[in-house]
């Protein structure tokens, strides 16, 4: 459990995995403290709405410090991010779908999302992609929207 | 006692009538399907079906809804085991070892044990409900905010045994979960905290979108783009059945989980959610090989699954005996009989025995139906794994969006889910455990409220926690748990946890 | 509560007839948004109403639950819905309280009352004050005397701050000039559990929930907030009878987004009136033990204004909870 040596010029490179995440936790705790100013803290006998968040901010910061102190065993910050570009694309696609859901309706959104993920990202053959995406959208809409009467969003064109 | 059996005979004569039986089957099937939808849990399932029951007679309505309830709980564990997507808070713990078993090619036994454990726990729960409902209900009412605080703290101390990571990391994740739980309108004062002007956040962040995002979506983000695609599982029939060793290991967890779940379940409030967490912690603590947990220990499936099912039966005790809807699920169930002009409560057992006993018997029938429905289905479900991952994960994503939206017709839940997916992905890259976040999120609103309620009752003196016997005893046990968890740290300097690898270190 | 007179009904019927001549409505399903979860009071009174309206219109009238933030989420969604008459809502008394509370906290309001047109009041249920039997108070008079003797010692519970069981208690505490501590809970069920377990002394309960426990002597009813005694509790006096001029109802009513055409409004009013009078609706409401209290738009508007005046002064008296102490 020794402190790691840090050459100032290469501090970033030499950061250990846990030192980095511990630092993030401390930053988050500070942000939480900042956000929490709006709420009255109250007293120990009568905790206000800001009491527990304040305690948690202090607790998180303390844990961040501990994680940094005990970070001797963890690996250097040299993670492989091979899957990251793919993950980002998937997330952006899902985000776009969430944005589109209430605007162009459930069925169109899901068809578009599936065609993108299967056809463009995974490069499957067009025919299976079309069959899967259209039938998925239709069947799921029928089961959830029609049978279970969930008001799934429809497009402005009623579809 | 004889009277009880006569009443039970009456109950079974109602529950086994063909018409009721058909509805029990229908309920279980719908429930299983709804539960398998990522993001749709038991509460969403019975809320969606509630309006459809208004036209039925009250016994059938409640049979149908309890079928949906049980089915959804089981369906939720199916997706947790196969795809690491918890359908509800209670399956979060099933995710961890269940999915690890799937990766080891033991999906079949995991599903089978989950079904058997749920069945045994459900049956024991029904027996408990039948024999003890009136007595227990009176006792359960003595649980006020101070006792509740003590119970939740005990649940919290279990954290020490819950995860494989280092202690500060586990605690910091629990803290993060507690902070997520602070979002929303403060019950005591009406302040809206950390909602950033989003009205939908007034009710706080729900556990279901968080669990689906943290566990399910993060898994897709990690695996879908990996350099080598995950290999397609080709389960053989022989591997569907649990081995003798697995069955032997499951007996203890199922028995302990059932008892624990029932006891936690009868307490008014939503504490039954923590039963699966507590069960996991206990199993891990008493196991001779705690290092197996997190990488596919059957005990980690058997215990929590049983606990959550018997807690569900336990939750019916205050509902049937007192007529108090102490959790959202029982509130919907009560509404289902209220529209027929029946008020569940102390007089129900005397005035309408056929309803009470019919309900008890049909719960038992529902459990049997679920078992005979689901054991053969294990083979079918496992075959889902044959679908190439490139086809599977886009469909799972669509299901999560659909499920997330359907729960409250709210797009905000979908955004929370996606956001939690990112957070879960990053945290796993940095080697953090995610289960403590879920526990923290579940506990935060209840814990904060019950502490502040207790202080409101006592006008600010903390003596209320030690002056009340039940609370004091439970706090004592909690302190004991903490001391025991610290002991290895002091005596051996090194905790066994440190010798265990971090869960899911994919990088 | 007065029911609408025949004269006003005739006027509406006439107005509705002339309106029908202009354009057909409805020609497709009319969505009724309920900003509360299934199984709540708003939901349970909206469903039979919608079923009765379906029969009159021969068009589906689906209920859409949009719960969240005590009703604010659903009401906000209706306030910005297209005012074409195909989205209406059935909501509770929180319609009046949410904007008041938002204003007090200086929050951006979720919606404003000006964004809605009242259609009709459907039901109004006065809460009843129930106490745990261990509390030595057999009447309101006893309770006030007890509270005066032990100020700030008796604890009352409620189902949520500024909510429909908090406001009436505050009104009573203010009118009686007594001091009591409060113990908030989340929702009616947990509140009832707190009082039944003796962890809190009393609360303003919905009668349907309290009646079985009163019959079983696990609770004692002292008074109700209505202007006449409850049919289900004929022995329990009203606050007015015992000398406090208090009236409070947990009401549910139908609203449409502002901007709907007059023809649509009159069709809605007429259909709701017929639906409320239907036998099916009456039996359904009897089953959930909620008294029907129909008021047509104009009288409903007056009722709303009176209700708002009373609620907003009560909420302002409460202030921000933690500053009050």
- CATH code for the domain in which residue C107 is found: 3.40.190.150
What confidence category does residue B487 fall into, taking pLDDT thresholds of 50, 70 and 90?
low
What span, in angstroms and rounded, lies between the C-alpha atoms of B398 and B378?
Answer: 23
Q: Identify the pLDDT of residue C324.
A: 43
Residue B185 to residue C182, Cβ atoms within 8 A: no
Q: What is the pLDDT along chain C (325 residues), one digit of tens a residue?
A: 444 455 555 555 555 555 444 567 888 888 899 998 877 788 888 988 998 998 898 888 888 888 887 888 889 889 888 888 889 999 999 899 888 888 888 888 888 888 999 999 999 989 999 999 999 989 999 999 999 998 888 999 998 888 888 999 999 999 998 989 889 888 888 888 889 888 999 999 988 888 888 888 889 999 999 888 988 899 999 999 999 988 899 999 999 999 888 888 988 999 999 999 998 889 888 888 888 888 888 899 999 999 999 888 888 888 776 544 4
Percent of chain B residues past pLDDT 70, beyond the cut: 91
pLDDT-based confidence at B486, cuts 50/70/90? low
| Domain membership of residue B52 as a residue range | 2-386+394-499
Q: Which of A40, A49, A149 lies nearest to residue C62, judging by beta carbons?
A: A149
Domain contains C322 = no
B141, C197 in Cβ contact below 8 A?
A: yes
> CA C29, CA C6: separation in Å to the nearest integer?
30
How far apart are alpha carbons A64 and A28 in whole angstroms?
A: 10
Nearest residue on chain B to C285, alpha-carbon basis: B339
Chain A residues inside the 8 Å CB shell of C323 = 40
Judge: C288–B339 Cβ closer than 8 Å, yes or no.
yes
Our count of domains for chain B comes to: 1
What's the rounded Cα separation, in Å, for the pair A69 and A59? 15
**C119 & C144 share domain:** no
Q: Is the pLDDT of residue A94 over 90?
A: yes
ipTM at complex level? 0.87
CB contact under 8 A, C185 and B453: yes
In angstroms, rounded to a whole number, what is the distance separating the alpha carbons of residues B105 and C215? 59
How far does the CA of residue B176 sit from the closest CA of chain A (Å)? Answer: 8
Residues 6+ apart with CB under 8 A from B390: A118, A122, A124, B224, B229
Q: Is B200 on the interface with A (CB under 8 A)?
A: no
User: Smallest CA–CA separation between A42 and chain B, in Å?
Assistant: 11
Smallest Cβ–Cβ distance between A83 and the set B172, B175, B225 belongs to B225
Residue C76 lies in a domain: yes
Residues A132-151, mean pLDDT to the nearest whole number: 85
Is residue B231 predicted with pLDDT exceeding 80? Answer: no
Q: Which residues of C8-32 are buried (b: 16+ CB within 10 A; e: fewer)?
A: ebeebeebbeebeeeeebbeeebbb
Tokens found for residue A83: 């899957």
The CA radius of gyration of chain A, in Å to the nearest whole number, is 24
Touching check for B122 and chain C: CB below 8 Å? no
- Which helix (H) or strand (E) segment holds residue B221: the answer is helix B218-224
What's the distance, CA A56 to chain centroid? 21
Indicate if C227 and C148 belong to the same structural domain. Answer: yes
DSSP states of B82-147 as a string? HHS--SSGGGHHHHHHHHHHHHTT-HHHHHHHHHHHHHHHHHHHHHHHHHHHHHHHHHHTT--HHH
Q: Do B179 and A113 touch (CB under 8 A)?
A: no
**Between chains, do A149 and B51 touch, taking CB under 8 Å as contact?**
yes
Mean pLDDT score, A122-126: 86
CB distance A150–B48 less than 8 Å? yes
C186/B contact by beta carbon, under 8 A: yes
A3 min Cα distance to partner chain B (Å): 16
Residue ending a domain, among C247, C280, C298, is: C247
Is the Cβ pair B171, A59 closer than 8 Å? yes
Give the residue from C188, C219, C247 where a domain finishes.
C247
Chain B contact set for A101 (CB, 8 A)? 401, 405, 411, 414
Taking only residues 159 to 178 of chain B, the set having a beta carbon closer than 8 angstroms to any beta carbon of chain A reads 166, 168-169, 171-172, 175-176, 178
Q: What is the pLDDT of residue C145?
A: 92
Nearest-5° Cα angle at B41, B36 to B47: 120
Domain that holds residue C210: 128-247
Across the interface, of A17, A82, A118, the residue whose CB is closest to B226 is: A82
Record: contact A48-C325, CB cut-off 8 A: no
- Say yes or no: C34 and C182 in one domain: no
Query: Considering the domain boundaries, does residue C276 fall inside one?
Result: yes
* Cβ–Cβ gap C322/A149 under 8 Å: no
pLDDT at B235: 63
Q: Distance (Å, rounded) from C-alpha B382 to C-alpha C213? A: 50
CA contacts within 13 A on the Cβ side of C89: 29
Looking at the complex, does the CB of residue C108 fall below 8 Å from at least one CB of chain A?
no
- Helix (H, G, I), strand (E, B), or coil: what is residue C105? helix
The DSSP result for B428-450, as a single string, is HHTT--SHHHHHHHHHHHHHHHH
CB contact under 8 A, B188 and C199: no
Residue C178 — left, alpha, or beta (φ > 0 → left; ψ -120 to 50 → alpha)?
beta
Residue in A52, A75, A103, A119 to test binding to B, most B beta-carbons within 10 Å:
A52
**Chain A nearest C-alpha distance from C27 (Å):** 15
Same domain, yes or no: C180 and C263: no
Residues 44-83 on A with a CB inside 8 Å of B are 45-50, 52-53, 56, 59-60, 63-64, 66-67, 70, 74, 79-80, 82-83
- Whether B332 and chain C come into contact, CB under 8 Å, resolves to yes
Chain segment B250-278, per-residue pLDDT in tens = 899 999 999 988 888 888 777 677 888 88
Alpha helices in B323-388 (DSSP H): 328-338, 348-351, 353-382
Q: C184, B188: Cβ pair inside 8 Å?
A: yes
Which residues 27-86 on chain C approach chain A with CB closer than 8 angstroms? 31, 62, 64
The predicted pLDDT at position B164 comes to 66
A75's torsion region: left (phi>0), alpha (psi -120 to 50) or beta? beta
The shortest CB-CB distance from A94 to any of B51, B193, B418 is to B418
Q: What is the pLDDT of residues B18-71, one digit of tens each?
A: 888 888 888 888 888 888 887 788 888 888 888 888 878 888 888 888 888 888
Of A111, A105, A99, which Cα lies nearest the Cα of A157?
A105
Residue-wise pLDDT for B81-107, tens only, equals 888 888 777 788 888 899 999 888 888
Long-range pairs for A80-89: beta carbons < 8 A, 24 or more residues apart: A80/B507, A82/B225, A82/B226, A82/B227, A83/B221, A83/B222, A83/B223, A83/B224, A83/B225, A83/B226, A83/B227, A84/B225, A85/B225, A86/A121, A86/B224, A86/B225, A87/B221, A87/B222, A87/B224, A87/B225, A87/B425, A89/A121
List Cβ neighbours of B235 (8 Å cut-off, separation of 6 or more). B105, B107, B108, B379, B382, B383, B385, B386
C212–B contact, CB cutoff 8 A = yes
Separation in Å, CA of A158 to nearest CA in chain B: 18
Whether residue B289 lies inside any domain: the answer is yes
Q: Is the dihedral of CA B424, B429, B435, B439 positive or negative?
A: negative
Give pLDDT tens digits for B128-152: 877 777 777 778 788 888 988 888 8
Same domain, C107 and C144: no
C134 and C243 together in one domain: yes
pLDDT in tens, B378-421: 888 888 888 888 888 898 899 889 888 887 778 888 999 999 99
Q: Work out the number of other CB atoms within 10 angstroms of the CB of residue A62.
A: 17
How confident is the model at residue A3, as a pLDDT? 41
- On whether the CB atoms of residues B66 and B27 are closer than 8 A, the answer is yes
What's the rounded Cα separation, in Å, for the pair B296 and B84?
13
- Chain C within 8 Å of A48 (Cβ-Cβ)? yes
pLDDT of residue B62: 83
Cα(C220)–Cα(C196) distance, integer angstroms:
10
Report how far apart, in Å, the C-alpha atoms of B196 and of each of A37, B186, B498 are.
Answer: 14, 14, 40
User: Is residue B216 included in any domain, yes or no?
Assistant: yes
A102 in reach of chain C (CB within 8 A): no
Question: What angle (nearest 5°) sits at the alpha carbon of residue B20, between those of residues B14 and B23?
Answer: 160
The residue out of C210, C232, C247 marking a domain boundary is C247
The structure tokens 């905010």 sit at B145
Residue A151 in contact with partner chain C when CB distance is under 8 A: yes
Residues C26 and C111 in one domain: yes
The predicted model scores a pTM of: 0.84
Which residues of chain C have a CB within 8 Å of the CB of A40? 322-323
Do C322 and A40 count as a contact with CB atoms less than 8 A apart? yes
User: By CA distance, what is A146's nearest residue in C?
Assistant: C62
Task: Give yes or no for residue B232 having a pLDDT over 80.
Answer: no
* H or E element that contains B209: helix B207-211
Decide: helix, strand or coil at residue C48. helix
Tokens of C57: 């219109």
How many beta carbons lie within 10 A of that of residue C279, not counting itself?
8
From B487's Cα to the closest Cα of chain C, the distance in A is 37
Measured CA distances, C162 to A47, C166, C244 (Å): 19, 6, 21
Both tokens of B262, joined, read: 């029932």
Say whether A63 and B175 touch across the interface (CB within 8 A).
Answer: yes
By C-alpha distance, the chain C residue nearest A151 is: C64
Same domain, C156 and C200: yes
Reading phi first (left if > 0) and then psi (alpha if -120 to 50, else beta), residue B39 is in: left
In a domain, B300, yes or no: yes
Question: Tokens 């004269």 — which residue?
Answer: C7
Judge whether B504 lies within some domain. Answer: no
Instruction: List, in sequence order, the alpha helices (H) in chain C.
Output: 6-20, 41-57, 72-79, 94-105, 140-149, 167-176, 188-196, 207-215, 262-277, 279-287, 297-318
Residue C189 and residue B335: Cα distance in Å, rounded?
12
Cβ neighbours of A49 in C, within 8 Å: 322
When scoring B192, B271, B322, B327 by the number of chain C Cβ atoms within 10 A, the one with the most, hence best to mutate, is B322
Q: Which of B396, B398, B457 to mutate: most A Cβ within 10 Å? A: B398
Q: Which two tokens stand for residue A114?
A: 């599936």
CB atoms within 10 A of CB B81: 31
Report chain C residues whose CB lies below 8 A from the CB of B150.
none
CB atoms within 10 A of CB C270: 22
Structural domain count, chain C: 2
Kindly tell me the sign of the dihedral angle through the C-alpha atoms of B468, B471, B474, B479. Answer: negative
Classify residue C152 as left (phi > 0), alpha (psi -120 to 50) or beta: left
pLDDT at B222 over 70: yes
CA–chain centroid gap for C275, Å, is 19
C5: left (phi over 0), alpha (psi -120 to 50) or beta: beta
Looking at chain C, which residue has its C-alpha nearest residue B186?
A: C161
In this structure, is residue C105 part of a structural domain?
Answer: yes
């Amino acid at each position: 459990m020794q402190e790691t040596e840090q050459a100032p010029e290469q501090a970033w490179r030499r950061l250990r995995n846990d030192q980095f995440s511990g630092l993030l936790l401390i930053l988050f705790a500070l942000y939480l403290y900042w956000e929490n100013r709006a709420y009255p803290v109250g007293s120990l006998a009568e905790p206000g709405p800001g009491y527990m968040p304040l305690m948690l901010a202090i607790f998180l910061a303390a844990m961040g410090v501990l994680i940094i102190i005990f970070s001797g065993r963890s690996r250097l910050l040299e993670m492989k991010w091979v899957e990251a570009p793919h993950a980002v694309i998937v997330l952006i696609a899902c985000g776009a779908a969430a944005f589109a859901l209430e605007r162009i309706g459930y069925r169109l959104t899901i068809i578009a999302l599936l065609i993108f993920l299967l056809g463009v990202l995974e490069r499957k053959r067009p025919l299976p992609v079309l069959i899967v995406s259209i039938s998925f959208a239709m069947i799921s809409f029928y089961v959830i929207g029609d049978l279970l009467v969930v008001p799934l969003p429809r497009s402005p064109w009623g579809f | 006692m004889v009277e009880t059996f006569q009443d039970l005979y009456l109950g079974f004569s109602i529950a086994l009538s063909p018409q009721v039986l058909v509805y029990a089957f229908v309920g279980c099937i719908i429930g299983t399907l709804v539960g398998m939808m990522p993001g749709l849990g038991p509460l969403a399932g019975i809320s969606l079906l509630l309006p459809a029951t208004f036209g039925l007679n009250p016994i059938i309505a409640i049979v149908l809804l309890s079928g949906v309830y049980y089915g959804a709980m089981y369906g939720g564990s199916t997706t947790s085991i196969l795809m690491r997507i918890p359908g509800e808070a209670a399956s979060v713990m099933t995710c961890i070892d269940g999915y690890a078993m799937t990766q080891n090619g033991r999906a079949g036994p995991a599903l089978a044990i989950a079904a058997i454990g749920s069945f045994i726990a459900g049956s024991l729960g029904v027996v408990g409900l039948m024999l003890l409902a009136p007595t227990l209900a009176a006792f359960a009412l003595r649980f006020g905010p101070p006792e509740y605080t003590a119970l939740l703290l005990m649940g919290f101390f279990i954290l020490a045994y819950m995860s494989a990571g280092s202690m500060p990391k586990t605690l910091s994740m629990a803290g993060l979960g507690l902070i997520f739980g602070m979002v929303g309108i403060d019950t005591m004062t009406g302040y809206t905290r950390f909602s950033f002007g989003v009205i939908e956040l007034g009710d706080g962040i729900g556990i279901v979108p968080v669990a689906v995002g943290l566990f399910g979506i993060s898994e897709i983000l990690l695996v879908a783009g990996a350099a080598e695609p995950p290999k397609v599982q080709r389960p053989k029939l022989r591997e569907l059945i649990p081995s003798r060793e697995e069955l032997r290991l499951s007996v203890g967890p199922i028995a302990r989980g059932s008892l624990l779940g029932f006891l936690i379940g009868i307490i008014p409030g939503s504490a039954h959610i923590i039963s699966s967490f507590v069960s996991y912690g206990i199993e891990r603590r008493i196991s001779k090989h705690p290092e197996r947990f997190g990488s596919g220990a059957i005990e980690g499936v058997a215990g929590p699954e049983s606990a959550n099912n018997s807690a569900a039966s336990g939750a019916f005790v205050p509902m049937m005996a007192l007529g108090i809807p102490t959790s959202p699920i029982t509130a919907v169930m009560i509404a289902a009989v209220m529209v027929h002009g029946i008020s569940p409560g102390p007089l129900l057992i005397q005035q309408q025995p056929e309803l009470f006993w019919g309900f008890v018997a049909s719960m038992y029938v529902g459990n049997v139906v679920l078992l005979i429905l689901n054991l053969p289905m294990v083979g079918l479900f496992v075959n889902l794994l044959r679908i190439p991952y490139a086809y599977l994960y886009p469909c799972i994503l669509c299901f999560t969006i659909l499920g997330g939206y359907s729960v409250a017709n709210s797009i905000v839940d979908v955004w929370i889910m996606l956001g939690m997916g990112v957070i879960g992905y990053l945290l796993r890259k940095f080697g953090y455990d995610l289960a403590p976040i879920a526990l923290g999120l579940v506990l935060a609103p209840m814990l904060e409220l019950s502490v502040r309620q207790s202080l409101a009752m006592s006008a600010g003196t903390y003596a209320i926690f030690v002056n009340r016997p039940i609370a004091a005893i439970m706090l004592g046990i909690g302190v004991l748990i903490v001391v025991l968890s610290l002991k290895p740290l002091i005596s051996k300097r090194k905790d066994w946890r440190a010798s265990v690898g971090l869960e899911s270190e994919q990088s | 509560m007065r029911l609408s007179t025949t004269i006003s009904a005739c006027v509406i019927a006439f107005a509705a007839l002339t309106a029908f001549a202009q354009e057909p409505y409805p020609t497709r399903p009319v969505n009724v948004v309920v900003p509360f979860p299934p199984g709540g009071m708003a939901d349970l009174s909206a469903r039979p109403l919608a079923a009765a309206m379906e029969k009159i219109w021969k068009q589906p009238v689906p209920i859409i639950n949009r719960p969240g933030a005590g009703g604010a989420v659903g009401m906000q969604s209706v306030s910005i819905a297209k005012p074409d008459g195909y989205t209406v809502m059935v909501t509770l008394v929180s319609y009046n309280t949410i904007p008041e509370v938002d204003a007090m906290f200086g929050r951006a309001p979720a919606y404003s009352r000006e964004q809605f047109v009242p259609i009709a009041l459907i039901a109004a249920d006065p809460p009843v004050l129930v106490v745990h039997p261990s509390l030595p108070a057999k009447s309101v008079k006893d309770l006030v005397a007890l509270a005066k003797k032990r100020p700030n010692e008796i604890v009352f519970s409620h189902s949520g701050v500024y909510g429909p069981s908090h406001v009436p208690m505050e009104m009573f505490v203010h009118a009686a000039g007594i001091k009591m501590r409060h113990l908030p809970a989340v929702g009616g069920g947990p509140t009832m559990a707190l009082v039944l377990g003796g962890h809190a002394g009393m609360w303003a309960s919905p009668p349907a929930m309290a009646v079985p426990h009163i019959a079983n002597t696990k609770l004692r009813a002292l008074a109700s907030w209505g202007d006449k005694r409850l049919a289900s509790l004929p022995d329990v006096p009203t606050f007015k009878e015992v000398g406090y001029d208090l009236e409070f109802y947990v009401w549910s009513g139908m609203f449409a987004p502002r901007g709907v055409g007059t023809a649509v409004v009159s069709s809605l009013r007429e259909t709701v009136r017929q639906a409320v009078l239907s036998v099916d609706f009456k039996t359904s409401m009897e089953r959930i033990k909620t008294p029907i209290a129909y008021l047509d738009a104009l009288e409903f508007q007056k009722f709303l204004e009176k209700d708002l005046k009373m609620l907003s002064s009560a909420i302002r008296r409460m202030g921000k909870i933690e500053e009050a102490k």
